Amino acid sequence: MKKLKVLFVDDDINLGGLVSAVLETDYNYCVHFQNTLMGIDTIIQTLKPNIIILDVEIGEENGIDKAKDIATKHPLIPIIFISSHTEEDFITRGISTGGSVYLAKPLSIPVLVSYIQRFTKQQQQQQQQQQIIEISNYQLNLITNEFFHNRQLIKKLSPFEKNALELLIQNSNEVVSKEQFAKKLWGQSLETHNTASLNNILSKLRDLLGDYSLLRIDTIRGVGYILNSE
């Protein structure tokens, strides 16, 4: 079973060390702790945390302001705010930015863990309900049409783009015929006027994946297309 991954950001090194040690030892979590916001975007993309614990004030940096950016780029990752500031303004601002909960310091680790378990379970249930399919660090939400890389939103696809990409992912490393695409996209056999539309859809998906992606859409001349994943 994979360990639950926690990103913990707090300028209190002693608190960070204590909480990290307990979460790793007693709860078998994988914890990345740091006391600044430096490089946090790269860390999120690399670590792919299941949940983020974020101090409201990190030195002179504002955790709530940063959380706005994180929630926009990584809407699937729950954020737990922690702070010694318990004024209503701080709490409402934290929750309004997308925070799942706002916990006051000094922290109760069992309470913190209860929220970690609650929100990661909700995240997993939400993913199942939303029918998210994944391949090579890419995620496609079949309900909202949102396409993610390392849980970072790339684009909300059109229905045709989503259906075409879904078909390719479900048949990755296998040739998908043009007839299969036609039935998926238009519910009928391929007609001449649909060929140009299909080519246009695949071209847009290629542009979306870029030149350096682990995924590559290749054309099998006269047959169809194949999504190659490394």
pLDDT tens-place string over residues 9-67: 999 999 999 999 999 999 999 999 999 999 999 999 889 899 999 999 998 888 999 99
In-domain check, residue 91: yes
Same domain assignment for residues 9 and 95: yes
CATH number at residue 169: 1.10.10.10
Structure tokens at 82: 């922690």
Tell me the CATH number at 106. Answer: 3.40.50.2300
d(CA 230, CA 99): 35
CA distance 57 to 10: 8
Tokens of 136: 């090579």
Helix ranges restricted to H, the chain: 13-27, 40-47, 63-73, 88-96, 109-130, 159-170, 178-186, 192-209
Domain count, the chain: 2
112 shares a domain with 15: yes
pLDDT in tens, 68-78: 889 888 888 99
Task: Examine the domain organization and report whether 59 and 102 are in the same domain.
Answer: yes
Contact present, 64 and 93 (Cβ < 8 Å): yes
For 14, the token pair is 């002693």
One-letter amino acid at 53 equals I
185 occurs within a structural domain: yes
Angle at CA 155, nearest 5°, toward 102 and 150?
60
Give the mean pLDDT of 115-128: 78
At residue 206, does pLDDT exceed 90? yes
76 & 164 share domain: no
Same domain, 40 and 80: yes
The residue range of the domain holding 124 is 5-130
Same domain, 159 and 202: yes
